């Protein structure tokens, strides 16, 4: 039995948002660009990647996540943009971005950073950029120009709104068929019990 687990903390999206993301994926996929597409049931907004953590530290991490969640009230988050990192001209990671609700999401991220730091998880050096990853581009020129043009064309992309009312600690097992995520713990926002 393994004594560690690859873990991250995320917000789950709604089925309606995942459906809209799948519709955009179908548009992008028509270019023939070589992209590893995220399966809709695996779509989430990662707030903090923890990497490999000892299994016996999960209860302590869960307590810190519950504390961070308790500090923030539930809110609605809008998914309304689409883009790529580092940019449409050289896309590597394809994503959907946030609109209304971005500020409370940022506060939730900051609360997580604060609560997890004493447990040895350093604060992220990059500015937090909330996004829903929908695909990772593999090195290839096939369809790249067409994909870049479609990314620009769909920069404004409404995938809807969904309630953010809990944080989830997920384990992530990497397999040849793609990652398998399992919820290790859930923490309700605004719950001070």
Residues sharing a CB contact under 8 Å with residue 115, sequence separation 6 or more, in sequence order:
64, 65, 67, 68
End-to-end CA distance of the chain: 33
Q: What is the pLDDT of residue 51?
A: 93
**E runs forming strands in 21-174:** 35-37, 44-54, 75-85, 93-98, 131-137, 156-164, 166-173
Q: Residue 105, SS3?
A: helix
For 103-129, letters b (16+ CB in 10 Å) and e give ebbbebbbbbbebbeeeebeeeeeebe
Active site residues: 44, 131
Task: Tell me the pTM.
Answer: 0.91
For 151-175, letters b (16+ CB in 10 Å) and e give beebeebebbbbebbbbbbbbbeee
Q: Where are the domains of the chain?
A: 4-188
Q: What is the pLDDT of residue 1?
A: 59
Q: What is the pLDDT of residue 154?
A: 96
Q: What is the pLDDT of residue 178?
A: 79
pLDDT < 50 stretches in the chain: none
Q: Are strands 44-54 and 156-164 parallel, antiparallel or unpaired?
A: unpaired
Q: What is the pLDDT of residue 179?
A: 84
* CATH fold of the domain at 4-188: Cyclic Phosphodiesterase; Chain: A, (3.90.1140)
Q: What is the pLDDT of residue 2?
A: 79
């Amino acid at each position: 039995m393994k004594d560690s687990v690859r873990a991250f903390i995320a917000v789950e999206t709604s089925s309606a948002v995942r459906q809209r993301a799948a519709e955009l994926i179908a548009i992008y996929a028509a270019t023939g660009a070589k992209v590893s597409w995220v399966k809709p049931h695996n779509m989430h907004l990662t707030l903090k990647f923890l990497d490999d953590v000892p299994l016996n530290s999960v209860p302590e991490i869960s307590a810190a996540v519950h504390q961070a969640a308790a500090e923030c009230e539930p809110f609605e988050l809008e998914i309304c943009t689409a883009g790529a990192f580092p940019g449409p001209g050289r896309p590597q990671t394809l994503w959907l971005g946030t609109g209304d609700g971005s500020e409370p999401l940022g506060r939730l991220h900051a609360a997580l950073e604060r609560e997890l730091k004493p447990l040895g998880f350093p604060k992220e050096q990059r500015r937090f950029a909330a996004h829903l990853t929908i695909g990772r581009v593999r090195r290839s020129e096939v369809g790249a120009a067409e994909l870049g043009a479609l990314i620009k064309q769909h920069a404004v992309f409404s995938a809807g709104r969904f309630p953010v009312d809990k944080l989830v600690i997920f384990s992530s097992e990497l397999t040849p068929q793609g990652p398998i995520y399992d919820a290790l713990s859930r923490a309700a926002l605004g719950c001070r019990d």
